[in-house]
Amino acid sequence: MKVRLKDCTIEYQDRGEGAPLLLIHGYPLSRKQWDPQIDGLSGAARVIAPDLRGFGGSEAVAGDYTMEMLADDCHALLEGLDILQPVVVGGLSMGGYVTFAFYRKYPEWVAGLILAATRPGPDADPAKAKRDEAAALAQKGGSAAIAESMLPKMLSPKTYQNNPGLVGRVREIMESASVEGIRGALMGMKNRPDSTPLLEEIQKPVLVLHGADDQLIPPQEAEATHAKIKGSRLQILPDSGHLLCLEQPHLFNQAVREFLSTVES
């Protein structure tokens, strides 16, 4: 399905019935990273999964994509769907940065938060420099070059060994990103604010999910996030890297299902 927002057209999936669950994908991915959740959780919730601007089937608008802008897109999508109740917002990695921005701007829209493979802190200077290098690489070699450079870091060693089909699928998803989207998201992530001070202010139920073998964001960071959010739950999934929702779909969905039941009650 597609919807026209203020300055761009967004493609999204909306499946299932019940309390809404908004799932925000990571970089440089698309809503397709949530295929096992759309299939596995739509019996328990109304799963809404957008392609962020510049990714998947959504329009690639030129410019820097701040996390606030991406959160605004998600909020406008919910409004367009006439969702009138607070939603559980779940984001993976960059989707988590967007989730923090969403909570900052629209706390009254949030019933609970799922923070998957993400971190609250901003980019330090070396990470900012890497964003510029990646933007130059995308300009030169397109999304294929970005996929080539990122693929070895996205998954657990076990996944590379045992699940070549999934490795190929992740490459395909990354290659579907547009160069404008890659650049826009890189600049938005480079300049994102520090969400660490927000953690102690969060008043909603929070589930922190992380892969034990995440090479991009070490699980210790999830432990630190969990320690700062009062009443939060933490689950570290075995044999999964950065893309735990694809690598351990059953464990991921089970954790989310259990969490949703506590949010509803």
Residue selected from 22, 70, 88, 94 as contacting ligand MLT according to rule CB under 6 A: 94
Does position 189 bind ligand MLT by CB under 6 A?
Answer: yes
| Smallest separation, CB 230 to ligand MLT (Å) | 25
Which of these, 214, 258, 208, 210, lies nearest to 237 by C-alpha position?
Answer: 210
Q: CB-wise, 42 or 196, nearer to ligand MLT? A: 196
Does position 225 bind ligand MLT by CB under 6 A?
Answer: no
| Smallest separation, CB 170 to ligand MLT (Å) | 11
> CA–CA separation, 57 vs 50, rounded Å?
9
- At 133, is the secondary structure helix, strand, or coil? helix
Q: CB-wise, 11 or 123, nearer to ligand MLT? A: 123
Q: CB-wise, 44 or 177, nearer to ligand MLT? A: 177
> CA–CA separation, 170 vs 162, rounded Å?
14
Residues 25 to 54: which contact ligand MLT by CB under 6 A? 26-27
> CA–CA separation, 197 vs 212, rounded Å?
25
Q: What is the DSSP string of 69-132?
A: HHHHHHHHHHHHTT--S-EEEEEETHHHHHHHHHHHH-GGGEEEEEEES--SS---HHHHHHHH
Q: CB-wise, 16 or 102, nearer to ligand MLT? A: 102
Q: Kindly state the number of chain residues that form the binding site for ligand MLT, as judged by CB under 6 A.
A: 7
| Beta-ladder partners of 237 | 211
Q: CB-wise, 199 or 263, nearer to ligand MLT? A: 199
| Beta-ladder partners of 19 | none
Name the site residues for ligand MLT (rule: CB under 6 A). 26-27, 93-94, 189, 216, 242
